[in-house]
Amino acid sequence: MSGVVIIGGGHAAGQAAASLRQAGYERDVTLIGDEPHAPYQRPPLSKAYLKGELSADKVLLRAASFYEDKNITLQLETRATQIDPAHQRVSLGTDQQLDYEHLLICTGSRPRRLNLEGSDLPGIHYLRTMDDVDGIREGMRPGANLVIVGGGYIGLEVASVGIGLGLNVRVLEMEQRILQRVTTPTMSAFYQQLHSDRGVHIHTDTTVQGFAGTDRVEQVLCGDQAFDADIVVVGIGVVPNVELAEAAGLRCENGIVVDEHCRTSDPHIFAAGDCSNHPNPLLGRRLRLESVPNAMEQARVSVANMLGDPKTYAAVPWFWSDQYELKLQMVGFSADGDSEVLRGDMASNQFAIFYLKAGTVVAADAVNSPKEFMICKQLIGKGVNPDDLKNTDFDLRGLLAA
Ligand SMILES: Cc1cc2nc3c(=O)[nH]c(=O)nc-3n(C[C@H](O)[C@H](O)[C@H](O)COP(=O)(O)OP(=O)(O)OC[C@H]3O[C@@H](n4cnc5c(N)ncnc54)[C@H](O)[C@@H]3O)c2cc1C
């Protein structure tokens, strides 16, 4: 009896397997993951798990016994190597083949890699998996020189952990400002100041050209500058894992192209998470997102549609980042705004910035304000008076009814 085959062992895959059983699906559910671990959470990898504050079993999405109890077959350390849509069949690296009624592709993304002189030297790391972090942690010794290539969220989270563990930390960013791809100049300046105050050396407009070292990395080379490095972490973005889908003839364009039901160009195949390029009816455009809420919700929507419950994926994107004692929560895309309104005092490390387009809230960034962030999420799409947003004596809940 063929059932649902899920390719991938991350957030979307784990959620989809659980959702199938929650919905009462009784046929076979098989999850094929190439990592040796049951589905686990990635966000702690650059936060509590890197710090050593969280054990491996606490990072798991669900206890290993969950899959056994729910009769979900986990085939770990196994790669799906081919999809045959005509015969509804997946081939595995083990020569095994699995027939499916529905297939869900959750292959995620992988770190973009540098291809420069010396970039294969030991001591140069990428951060995607639990095993990557285990390798990085070995080099995070107090006093060591940590060089981070890329001033995005992952790089900056690693910087804050590095400072906490007593390393000398340097961030090299090729753009004019850190976080340039993902946030506004105001937020970039705030985070640059925060990291500088904590002792991180940030170099913007600085492009890495290679690495030097005999047996392992010793220096990072940028034009006429060379920075000493005992350990390097590269965080320069990801590329979606679409090769399997592409080879099967599924439409791909910056991700596996799906419709609002997370269905690919083949009616029996769905895709969810980092690997999917999906339409967002609230934003009126297609997106490929790299966030946990997106992966989980797309998994739920895929399952609902497989089981004949026509659900549409229509969520405002949101994300978070933890650096030092600051929790940043973001909703929407700040670049969509034409003005910004500050609520609170940035110097107190507790504030929110709202981004408005023609008087309507399109995005918000909230720092150390989790309660207000819940309201920020609900304000997206609402026309507001900026003076109300600015006024910290004004209860934002008053805007929700409007
Ligand atoms: C260090 C780090 C910190 C992050 N922090 C945050 C955060 O704070 N907040 C947030 O919202 N998001 C965060 N993210 C992003 C978030 O983790 C991803 O968006 C999420 O993991 C996507 O889930 P996914 O299931 O689509 O893919 P993934 O979690 O990448 O899982 C895909 C899995 O499929 C496997 N796979 C690929 N191809 C095959 C194949 N052919 N056969 C079998 N298996 C295969 C991969 O090895 C991988 O295990 C972070 C990511 C990282 C790496």
Which is the closest atom of ligand 1 to the Cα of 133? 1
Distances (CA, A) of 132 to 28, 58, 137, 185, 292: 32, 17, 9, 31, 19
Task: For residue 125, count other CB atoms closer than 10 A to its CB.
Answer: 21
Distances (CA, A) of 335 to 165, 338, 372: 34, 8, 21
Distance 229 CA to ligand 1 centre (A): 28
- Decide the pairing of beta strands 350-357 and 3-7: unpaired
Distance 201 CA to ligand 1 centre (A): 29
Average pLDDT, the chain: 97
- Contact predicate 379/339, CB 8 Å: no
Distance 290 CA to ligand 1 centre (A): 8
- Residues 14-71: tens digit of each pLDDT: 999 999 999 999 999 999 999 999 999 999 999 999 999 999 999 999 998 999 999 9
Structural domains of the chain sorted by starting position, each given as residue range(s) with its CATH number in brackets: 3-110+238-306 (3.50.50.60), 113-234 (3.50.50.60), 325-399 (3.30.390.30)
- Contact predicate 80/32, CB 8 Å: yes
Distance 129 CA to ligand 1 centre (A): 8
Helix axes 185-197, 153-164, angle to 10 degrees: 20
Q: What is the pLDDT of residue 94?
A: 83
Phi-psi region of 249 (alpha: psi -120 to 50; beta: other; left: phi over 0): left
Burial of 394 (0-12, 13-18, 19+ CB in 10 A): middle
Structure tokens at 371: 């309660």
How many Cα atoms sit within 13 Å of 137 on the Cβ side?
Answer: 17
Which is the closest atom of ligand 1 to the Cα of 276? 26
- Residues 206-229: tens digit of each pLDDT: 999 999 999 999 999 999 999 999
Beta-bridge partner residues of 278:
287
Mutate to test the pocket of ligand 1, among 107, 112, 365 (most ligand atoms within 8 A of CB): 107
Distance 108 CA to ligand 1 centre (A): 5
Q: Would you say the C-alpha torsion 287, 290, 293, 297 has a positive or negative sign?
A: positive
pLDDT band of 303, cuts 50, 70, 90:
very high
Distance 272 CA to ligand 1 centre (A): 11
Which is the closest atom of ligand 1 to the Cα of 11? 25
Q: Which residues contact 173 (CB under 8 A, 6 or more apart)?
A: 150, 151, 155, 180, 202, 203, 204, 205, 206
- Residues 314-324: tens digit of each pLDDT: 999 999 999 99
Mutate to test the pocket of ligand 1, among 42, 287, 319 (most ligand atoms within 8 A of CB): 42
Which residue's structure tokens are 């047996």?
215
Beta-bridge partner residues of 62:
none
- Residues 162-189: tens digit of each pLDDT: 999 999 999 999 999 999 999 999 999 9
Instruction: Tell how far CA 1 is from the center of its chain.
Output: 35
pLDDT band of 402, cuts 50, 70, 90:
low
Mean pLDDT throughout 2-21? Answer: 97
- Residues in the ligand 1 pocket, defined by CB under 6 Å: 7-13, 32-35, 42-43, 45-46, 79-80, 106-109, 127-128, 154, 241, 244, 273-275, 290-293, 295, 319-321
Distance 10 CA to ligand 1 centre (A): 5
Which is the closest atom of ligand 1 to the Cα of 93? 42
CA-closest candidate to residue 59, choices 104, 99, 10: 10
Distance 61 CA to ligand 1 centre (A): 12
Instruction: Tell how far CA 371 is from the center of its chain.
Output: 23
CA-closest candidate to residue 220, choices 139, 136, 145: 145
Question: Is residue 1's pLDDT more than 70?
Answer: no
